[in-house]
Amino acid sequence: MASYGDTTAVKTIFEVANRQKKAREVASNPENIYRRGRVNRVFTNSAELSKATIDPNKFKKINPGFAAGIIEFYPANEFNPKERTELAQPIDTHFTPAIAHNDMIEYTTVDNINYYRGPINTNNDPTFSPDTGISKLFTNATKKAINMDSPGKQKVERELFAQQMSTVKQLFQKSGKVKKPEIEDALKPNPINGWARELFGMGSSDMIFEGRKGNSIRLGQDGEFPNVKIANNSNGLEEKLTDGSLIAMTSNGNLKQNFPSDTAFKLSCDSGENEGKGPEMASGNTEGQFDYEYATVQPDIQQQEQFNQMIMQSDRIILDSQDEDVTVSSNRHINIGAGKNMSITNKGYTVLESKNIYIGNKAKERTQPMVLGTELQKALIEIIDFIGTLAYTAPASGLGPGTPCFSGTTPLAAAISQLKRGLGLDTEFEPSGEPESLEAETPKSTFLSSKHFIEPNQE
């Protein structure tokens, strides 16, 4: 019997106490043990689940508020000849993983309900994550002739599936990251040495939520400059401006610097037959083509004035407001370009409110003001009324044509000059002012607009 103060006895007492403490902790908060499983089928809606032939007892292992995300899987057990299946639901309430037949998953049981997570990244390939946990059942042609009714049927099917998928799994490449030194080094100290050299040389990966078929959401960064890119049907390490559909938000660098593989990118309305005819980009009083060099990284970050831009591209884009308005607003210019035609259709009225309106690029020379209909009507009526006051006097000899005269008291020549001055026609029209001028053209013809101009006819 151990005496009081015996260190061995004290040690034994503490060991027993610790075991009892751990037992109480496990009983009150048991740990979850994850096991491996292989997906047999996935249920994406209630109709699929209700039509499936499944033992009703298996539904006791799930608690589905909705059927989406429920899977039937085989618990990984090489010694189970029946290869029984069970049901499981996603472990995360707000996230449904992209699961397919033969994917490897991990599952756990909490309060008699099966939960799963995965698929396990067996191939580091989002398009193909087969169960690789059981060794191959055959290595040559003779072993491929295994009886498909044997207990190993499911295992052989898995191998055949893996071989078939290996030929198509490269259709979409796993997303990665391409280095962009111009952007990444924008804040790099110069000269760089010591810890700074190591820090800037490390780089970092991006957070990418990736689907199976070339769709992804990238929360990335190039150096200290963040970017967000949402892509669909895109194949490559990084998203491209020429693949599928893309919404991209960048914080520094022009299009070429942010998308190195798309150095030849041009707007659709500025490509092919339309090259050089893209929407004009005005800057102060000078004009040029669309600014492909916006936000180009400057040698000195203190001189950088342009940073953020957002790009959206696809084969077709639809903006549809079901109930309220669509509002497009810009602090500077709004440029709209089309490779072919443009139509504006509405069931109400159309208002174009602008300082000046030019129809055609040449109209900005302001040589052809548009006619004001009512004012022209007044001018024509006045001319016709004037012609109606003309009369003819017979020659003194009674022979030959008569001489036109004005029935009023004003001489004819003076009356015509007065009419021309009133209509602003006494001098030839000469354009004046800049395209953004609000000043009326001189001379001020009553039926010519000072704000609306049109291109002249082609000769």
pLDDT of residue 44: 85
Alpha carbon distance 422, 426 (integer Å): 8
End-to-end Cα distance, the chain: 123
pLDDT in tens, 138-187: 333 344 444 444 545 555 565 555 555 555 555 678 888 888 888 988 88
Dist. CA 395–CA 337, nearest whole Å: 68
- Give pTM, 2 decimals: 0.71
CA–CA separation, 16 and 14 (whole Å): 5
pLDDT band at 201 (very low <50, low <70, confident <90, very high): low
- 126-135, 184-193, 233-242, 381-390, range with the lowest pLDDT: 126-135
166/162 Cα distance (integer angstroms): 6
pLDDT at 137: 38
What is the Cα gyration radius of the chain?
A: 40
Q: Do residues 234 and 246 touch, judged by C-beta distance below 8 A?
A: yes
Q: Is 230 exposed, middle or buried (0-12, 13-18, 19+ CB in 10 A)?
A: middle
Q: Where are the alpha helices (DSSP H) in 116-208?
A: 153-165, 181-184, 194-202
Is 90 exceeded by the pLDDT of residue 326?
Answer: yes
Determine the angle formed by the axes of helices 412-423 and 373-388, rounding to 10 degrees.
170
Range name among 273-277, 287-291, 303-307 with the lowest pLDDT average: 273-277
Residues 6+ apart with CB under 8 A from 315: 245
Q: What is the pLDDT of residues 254-274, one digit of tens each?
A: 999 999 877 678 888 877 666
Spatial CA neighbour of 188 closest among 224, 226, 152, 141: 224
pLDDT at 375: 79
Identify which has the larger pLDDT, 410 or 341. Answer: 341
The edge-to-edge listing of strands for the beta sheet with 309-313 is: 207-210, 216-222, 225-232, 245-250, 309-313
Q: How many residues appear in the chain?
A: 459
Cα torsion angle, 274, 279, 280, 281, sign: negative
Q: What pLDDT digit, counting tens, does each position of 334-369 carry?
A: 888 888 888 999 898 888 888 888 888 888 888 888
Per-residue confidence (pLDDT) for residue 136, from 0 to 100: 43
pLDDT of 64 reads 65
Largest Cα span, the chain? 169
